[in-house]
């Protein structure tokens, strides 16, 4: 079973700062997801990666398959970025198996 570790668990930063959240996993994967969950809200999928790098607005996600590591970056952070960010991996193929989740990073951006 894949073990997914996220760091940091909690992060408080000032508006405008560059944010990095890290995710490491123990077993080779077919895909890695970065998810966002606002307080009391459902989960939104931000990125799905199997290699390289993806960018969407101020969010950038990278993955290094050899090192079994991924990072989520937020540039020019804003209070509305405050949320829990969750890394999740899928080890098998085909989509039928569920994801294995990290415990999440609780991000607070102060104005």
Partner 1 sequence: DVKVTQSSRYLVKRTGEKVFLECVQDMDHENMFWYRQDPGLGLRLIYFSYDVKMKEKGDIPEGYSVSREKKERFSLILESASTNQTSMYLCASSRTYGYTFGSGTRLTVV
- The reply to whether 26 sits near partner 1 by the rule CB under 8 A is no
Site string for partner 1, 80-99 (x = CB under 8 A): ------x-x-x---xxxxxx
3-state class (DSSP) for residue 80: helix
Q: What are phi and psi of 80, to 5 degrees?
A: -70, -10
Nearer Cβ to partner 1 (94/111): 94
Please identify, among the stretches 13-21, 38-46, 53-61, 67-75, the one whose residues bind partner 1 according to the rule CB under 8 A.
38-46
For 66-92, letters b (16+ CB in 10 Å) and e give eebebbbbbeebeeebbbbbbbbbbbe
Among 11, 13, 43, 60, binds partner 1 (CB under 8 A): 43
């Amino acid at each position: 079973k894949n073990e997914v570790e996220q760091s940091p668990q909690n992060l408080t930063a000032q508006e405008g700062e560059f944010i990095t959240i890290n995710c490491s996993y123990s077993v080779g994967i077919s895909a890695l997801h970065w998810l966002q969950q606002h307080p009391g809200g459902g989960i939104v999928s931000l990125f799905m990666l199997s290699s390289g790098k993806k960018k969407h607005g101020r969010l950038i996600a990278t993955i290094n398959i050899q090192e079994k590591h991924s990072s989520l970056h937020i540039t020019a952070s804003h209070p509305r970025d405050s949320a829990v960010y969750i890394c999740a991996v899928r080890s098998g193929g085909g989509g039928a198996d569920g994801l294995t989740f990290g415990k999440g990073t609780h991000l607070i951006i102060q104005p």
